[in-house]
Amino acid sequence: MDRNRPIAIIGMAGRFPDAPNIASLHQNLLAAKCSIREISADRIQQTTLSAEQDYYRAGFVEGIDRFDHELFHLSLGEAQCMDPHQRQLLEVVYELMENAGYSPQQMAESDTSVFVADKNLYYYRHAEEYNTLLVNGNSSECLAAYLSRQFNLQGSTAVIDTSCSSSLVALHHACNELLLGDAERAIVCGASYDLFPFREGDIDLKVESPDGRSIPFSDRSNGMVYGEAAVAVLLKPLEQALADGDHIQATILSTAVNNNAFRSASLNAPDSVAQAQVLQKAWRKAGIEPSDLAFVEAHGSGTRLGDNIEVGGLNLAFAATAPERSACPISTIKANIGHTRCVAGLAGLVKVALALKHEVIYPAHYTGVSSPLIDFDRAAVYVNQAAIDWPGGGERPRVAGLSSFGFSGTNCHVVLAEAPLPTAHANVPNSAARYCIPLTAHHAAGLLANAQALLDYLPQLTEADLPSLSKVLGSGRDQHAYRRTLLVSELEDLRRQLSRLVRELTEQAPVPTPDTQVIGVFSDDASLVLGDLEKWGQRFPVFQSCFARGEALRRELGQSPTAAYCNLMFLWGRA
C-alpha cells in the first residue's frame, strides 16, 4: 500500500463480553477488565441449553438469541432458521452504517464490497425437523451474501478463512480492493459465538487452557481461553473520506500477509522468522521505522510456546533495523475478552483504533510474573501494565502495529495511524443557528430507548458537535414510523427537551393491542392430518383451546372428518 494512499476507518461497531458496544469496550479496556467467566444461567436459558451440562469458562456475550426481524423485513419463520451469527452480523452492520453517518438507504445500490471472516455454523443442530430455510440460514458461504442482499450492496462479496487470522486477512483483501479502485467502500466483519460450549473429554491439540484462566506472556499462561464477539468496520480511501467529510476514526497505512510454509515445525506450529518477516513487510509498505511504533497489539494466544515464539519474532523484527531502540509496549485484547477465533484480528483492530482515538495505550490485563520462557529484560518489547498517555496532533502521527497469526500458518500484520486533524473550518457552531435533532424508531419502545441513549451521550459532546449531530441524525439515519424532531440552539436546550421527551414517552400509556381474531383454514388438499392437530394441541395449550372451539364449530355445521383429512375452520382468538 502506498504511503500516500492510506485507507480510512470511517465506522466501527461491535458486541463483546460485558460490552454491548464500542463505547463500553473502551471503558472496560481502560479498567483492564477481564470478562472471562463461567457461563450465566441467563445465557443457558436463552440458548436452550441444559443446566446439567458442564461448560467451559469463556468470554460470553449475552442476548445472542434476540433479533429484531421486523427491522430487516424478514419473516419470523426465516429469522428463526437463521444462525445467530447471521442475525448478529445484520444488526452490527446496521449499527456500523449508523456509526459512520450513512443510513442503510444511502448505502443501498452502492459499490460496497463485503468481506466476512468464515465461521462454521451449527445452529441447525437445535432444529427438531428439517426446514428448507435452514439451508441458507446455516451455510457459512452465505454469511457475506446475506449482508450484500439485505442492504443491497453491489460490490464483491467474499468469505475468508485462514482460521484465527481470518478477519485481518479479510481486511487485507478489502484494502487491496479499495486501492485497485474495484470498490468505493468496503465492509469487513465477522462474528464468533459458541452455541454449544461444552467441556468435553480430552482437548484436541492441547491448546486450550484446562482451568479457563490464561494470561498471555505470563507464568500463568497455559493455553487459550475462548471468547465471543461480533465486529464490523467500514473502510474508504482516505483521500475520498476527507473529500466526503467522513468522521475518520483511524487510518490503515499498510497490511501484509505471509505463510509459515516450510519454516515451521508443522502446518499448525507458529514460526518466529515468518512472523518477523510479515511485520517488516508491513513496516516497509507503510514507510515507517520500528522506532515510529508506540505500541503493538500482539496476537497473544496464551500458550507458552506461542507467546514465546511471538516475542522472538518481535525481537527479530525490531533488531533487524533498530537494535538500539527502547522497548515497545505490547498487550492483547485476548486477555480481556478471550480468543475470539475468526474475529480475533478485528477485535484487536478496534482496540488499536480506540487507543488512537482516545489518546491512550490501554493497560494489559496481566497477573503473575513473566513467562519463564521469555526474557523480557533483553526483549524489544514489554507488557505494559498501566495506562500510558498517548497525545496526538504532533508533527509525526502516532503509529501502532497489529498482529494476527492463524492456526493455518497464515500470518497478518497491519500498521495503523491516527486520523488526520479536522480542517479548521469544520464544526464551527453558529450562535444564532437552530438545529433540527430528529429521532426515529420503528416502534414506540425504540423511540424512548433512542431518546434516552442520546440523553446519556450528551456529556461527551460539546457545542461544536451540534452541527454534525444534526446532520448525522437527519441524513445518516433511515426514517421509521415513530418520529420526533427537536429544534435546539445549544446543548443545554437539547438536554432539557430530551429530558422532557423521555418523561413524556415513559408516561405515555401503551397503545392497546386490537382484540383481533385469526382465522385458520385447513382444507382437504393440504397434507394435514387430524393426528398432527392433536399433537399440536398436546404441546401448546392455547392451540388445544382453539382446536376444541373449531371442533365444536365443525359439528355445529354438520361436517364430518374423513379418515385422513378434514375441512376444518377454527377461530384463534386472544385469551
Half-sphere exposure of 127 (CA within 13 A, CB side): 17
The cell for 556 is 355445529
* pLDDT tens-digit map of 274-292: 999 999 999 999 999 999 9
Give the phi and the psi of residue 262 in degrees, each rounded to 5: -80, -5
**pLDDT on residue 36:** 96
Q: What is the pTM of this model?
A: 0.84
Q: How far apart are CA 91 and CA 84, in angstroms?
A: 11
3-state helix, strand, coil in the chain (%, to 5): 40, 20, 40
| Cβ atoms of residues 140 and 86 within 8 Å | no
Q: What is the mean pLDDT of residues 121-130?
A: 90
* pLDDT tens-digit map of 149-197: 999 999 999 999 999 999 999 999 999 999 999 999 999 999 999 999 9
Q: What is the mean pLDDT of residues 333-343?
A: 97
The continuous run of DSSP H or E covering 240 comes out as helix 238-244
| Cβ atoms of residues 175 and 7 within 8 Å | yes
Q: How far apart are CA 180 and CA 166, in angstroms?
A: 21
Q: How far apart are CA 103 and CA 152, in angstroms?
A: 12
Q: Give the active site residue among 85, 339, 365, 413.
A: 339
Most distant CA atoms of the chain, gap in Å? 97
**pLDDT on residue 426:** 47
- The domains of the chain are located at 7-417, 435-507, 518-572
- 564 vs 448, residue with greater confidence: 448
Q: What is the mean pLDDT of residues 39-66?
A: 94
CATH placement of domain 7-417:
3.40.47.10
Distances, alpha carbon 323 to alpha carbons 40, 310, 319, in Å: 48, 17, 4
Q: How far apart are CA 521 and CA 74, in angstroms?
A: 24
Annotated catalytic residue 413? no
Annotated catalytic residue 142? no
Give the phi and the psi of residue 67 in degrees, each rounded to 5: -165, 130
Let me know the angle formed at the C-alpha of 543 by 538 and 548, rounded to the nearest 5 degrees: 90
* pLDDT tens-digit map of 389-428: 999 888 889 999 999 999 899 999 999 999 998 765 445 5
In 238-348 the beta strands, taken as DSSP E runs, fall at 250-259, 293-297, 328-331
Q: How far apart are CA 78 and CA 89, in angstroms?
A: 15
**pLDDT on residue 562:** 44
Q: Give the active site residue among 34, 164, 189, 546.
A: 164
Q: Give the active site residue among 85, 172, 173, 299.
A: 299
**pLDDT on residue 565:** 36
Please, what's the b/e burial string for 243-260 (b: 16 or more CB within 10 A of its CB; e: otherwise)?
eeebbbbbbbbbbbbbbb
Q: What percent of the chain is predicted at pLDDT more than 70?
A: 86
What string of H, E and C letters represents the secondary structure of 184-227? CEEEEEEEECCCCCECCCCCHHHCECCCCCCCCCECCCCCECEE
Q: How far apart are CA 291 and CA 283, in angstroms?
A: 11
**pLDDT on residue 480:** 87
Q: DSSP letter at 564?
A: S
The continuous run of DSSP H or E covering 177 comes out as helix 166-179
Residue type, 37: R
Residue type, 465: D
The topology under which CATH files domain 435-507 is Alpha-Beta Plaits (3.30.70)
| Cβ atoms of residues 423 and 247 within 8 Å | no
**pLDDT on residue 199:** 86
**pLDDT on residue 572:** 41
Q: Strands 388-389 and 7-15, how do they pair? A: unpaired
The residue count for the chain = 575
Q: With bands split at pLDDT 50, 70 and 90, how would you rate the model's confidence at 373?
A: very high
Task: List beta partners, residue 518.
Answer: 572
Q: Strands 399-405 and 328-331, how do they pair? A: unpaired
Annotated catalytic residue 412? no
Residue type, 327: A
Q: How far apart are CA 297 and CA 310, in angstroms?
A: 12
The cell for 212 is 479457563
The chain-wide mean pLDDT, for the chain, equals 88
| Cβ atoms of residues 434 and 328 within 8 Å | no
Let me know the angle formed at the C-alpha of 413 by 107 and 101, rounded to the nearest 5 degrees: 20
**pLDDT on residue 348:** 98
Q: What percent of the chain is predicted at pLDDT more than 90?
A: 67
**pLDDT on residue 518:** 52
Q: What is the mean pLDDT of residues 496-512?
A: 82
